[in-house]
């Protein structure tokens, strides 16, 4: 007999399940880190400090134009964005990236940095170096001093541009550390997230396309800086943000722009899939209540503000209350701090939130105090009467038991 359509479903389901289990990696593809072709790479989630993926992350390698990240940092720290710089002469080779600034042009620091970060303009880097430190050599010394101050142990600079030099190198880990410092600067974050920019200072307006094509093609990607030379290969420090989560990556030494972009995108997507934002505490959330002294009413105790943390998916945050009173007397305003809500992540305290009164607490009146005294006195009297009655009852029972056990007089025992 041929089985009907309904009878065939269980067998089909079992077959599909078996095929799914036999496909290599099908059950755990989302949990495995991506394989990258780059000789050195890293993926970091900065809020937790997690190094999510690392591949030769501390190896010292040529870094091409990602050198300009340090040039940009010194410019942001030492100059005003509205400062106007006179361009220095710069003789570029035919293969170099330049903005086309001419010696003597007057360009704002804001536009110098836009050209530096989006078009990777070497002429902008040269002007920034000389105008900040007085000479290119002095600027390189300043770059190395700043790298040491930031703890970039695997980084050394030989020029402000990123041209190949045995003494110009960094690591994937150091590049991400530097990018994290730069991302604290609002102008930097806004600039590296632009698909294109038009600058209007200088001899005439110029429009530059962001060399980081992932910013132009992928909405979640919001930075940071590309680089490419013969010695370094293709380099990209990347960042991406989604639903409040930001991750940073660096890939060094890939053989093509396509491979560089593929590695970067795989790392960033993996990082965003692994983390989420979780609310440990919500403003106004009730964490208990306290009795009001001399009264039968109570006041709620609530959190003063939100605590939202970036966590690995499935990770829990520990929340406990410290110092919360069981009883309060006023006068206290609404929002008076009476304790603390402590949030721990991975055993470490990450937030302390004031525990406050949800409503104002008035001072107990004389009538409240008298009523409480009378109530307490009445309760004590009733308790005393109860205990006295209980004691009398016990004594009566003992006397009755003794009488029952006493033998009658005149009774003769017969053996």
pLDDT, tens only, 163-188: 999 999 999 999 999 999 999 999 99
Which residues pair with residue 221 across a beta bridge? 240
Is-same-fold flag (40-275; 282-357)? no
Residues involved in catalysis: 65, 68, 120
Give exposure, 366-376, as e/b (b: 16+ Cβ within 10 Å): eebeeeeeeee
Residue-level length of the chain: 415
**Average pLDDT of the segment spanning 255-282:** 98
SS3 at position 340: strand
Confidence of residue 9 (pLDDT cuts 50, 70, 90): very low
Alpha helices in 134-170 (DSSP H): 136-149
Judge whether residue 30 has pLDDT over 80. Answer: no
Query: Measured between alpha carbons, how far is 334 from 133 in angstroms, rounded to an integer?
Result: 56
The pLDDT, as a whole number, for residue 377 is 63
Name the CATH superfamily for 40-275: DD-peptidase/beta-lactamase superfamily (3.40.710.10)
More confident residue, 43 or 365: 43
> pLDDT per residue over 368-382, tens digit each?
555 545 556 666 677
**Average pLDDT of the segment spanning 250-265:** 98
Judge whether residue 48 has pLDDT over 70. Answer: yes
Fold for 282-357, please state it: Peptidoglycan synthesis regulatory factor (PBP3), Domain 2 (2.60.410)
Burial of 39 (0-12, 13-18, 19+ CB in 10 A): middle
> pLDDT per residue over 333-364, tens digit each?
999 999 999 999 999 999 999 999 999 999 87
What residue ranges do the domains of the chain occupy? Answer: 40-275, 282-357
Name the residue among 270, 312, 311, 69 with its Cα closest to residue 172. Answer: 69
CB 36 within 8 A of CB 249: no
Query: Measured between alpha carbons, how far is 74 from 381 in angstroms, rounded to an integer?
Result: 80
Confidence of residue 25 (pLDDT cuts 50, 70, 90): very low
Mean of all residue pLDDT scores within the chain: 89
The pLDDT, as a whole number, for residue 35 is 95
> pLDDT per residue over 186-202, tens digit each?
999 999 999 999 999 99
Tell me how far CA of residue 392 lies from CA of 248, 380, 385, 397, in angstroms. 81, 18, 10, 9
The pLDDT, as a whole number, for residue 324 is 95
Q: Are strands 286-292 and 327-328 parallel, antiparallel or unpaired?
A: parallel
pTM: 0.81
Phi, psi of 318 (to 5 degrees): -90, 130
Judge whether residue 1 has pLDDT over 60. Answer: no
């Amino acid at each position: 007999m041929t089985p009907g359509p309904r009878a065939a479903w269980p067998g089909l389901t079992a077959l599909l399940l078996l095929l799914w289990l036999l496909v290599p990696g099908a059950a755990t593809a989302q949990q495995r880190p991506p394989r990258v072709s780059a000789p050195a790479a890293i993926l970091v989630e900065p809020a937790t400090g997690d190094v999510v993926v690392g591949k030769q992350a501390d190896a010292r390698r040529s870094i091409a134009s990602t050198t300009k990240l340090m040039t940009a940092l010194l410019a942001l720290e030492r100059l005003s964005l509205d400062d106007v710089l006179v361009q220095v002469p710069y003789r570029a080779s035919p293969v170099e990236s330049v903005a086309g600034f001419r010696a003597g042009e007057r360009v704002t620091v804001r536009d110098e940095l836009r050209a530096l970060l989006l078009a990777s303009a070497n002429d902008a880097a040269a002007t920034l170096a000389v105008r900040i430190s007085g000479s290119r050599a002095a600027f390189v010394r300043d770059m190395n001093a700043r790298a040491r101050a930031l703890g970039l142990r695997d980084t050394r600079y030989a020029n402000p541009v990123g041209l190949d030099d045995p003494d110009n190198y960094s690591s994937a880990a150091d590049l991400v550390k530097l990018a994290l410092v730069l991302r604290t600067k609002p102008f930097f974050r806004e600039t590296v997230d632009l698909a294109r920019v038009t600058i209007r200072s200088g001899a005439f307006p110029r429009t530059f396309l962001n060399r980081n094509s992932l910013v132009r093609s992928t909405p979640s990607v919001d930075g940071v800086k590309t680089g490419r030379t013969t010695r370094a290969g293709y380099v990209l420090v990347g960042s991406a943000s989604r639903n409040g989560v930001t991750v940073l990556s660096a890939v060094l030494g890939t053989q093509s722009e396509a491979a560089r972009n593929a590695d970067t995108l795989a790392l960033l997507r993996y990082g965003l899939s692994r983390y989420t934002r979780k609310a440990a505490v919500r403003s106004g959330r009730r964490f208990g209540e306290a009795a009001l002294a001399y009264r039968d009413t109570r006041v709620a105790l609530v959190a003063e503000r939100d605590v939202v943390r970036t966590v690995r998916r499935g990770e829990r945050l520990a929340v406990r209350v410290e110092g919360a009173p069981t009883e309060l007397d006023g006068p206290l305003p609404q929002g008076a701090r009476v304790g603390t809500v402590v949030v721990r992540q991975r055993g470490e305290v990450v937030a302390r939130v004031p525990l406050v009164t949800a409503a104002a607490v008035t001072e107990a009146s004389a009538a409240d105090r008298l009523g409480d005294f009378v109530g307490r006195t009445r309760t004590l009297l009733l308790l005393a009467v109860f205990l006295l009655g209980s004691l009398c009852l016990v004594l009566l029972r003992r006397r009755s038991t003794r009488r029952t056990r006493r033998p009658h007089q005149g009774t003769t025992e017969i053996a």
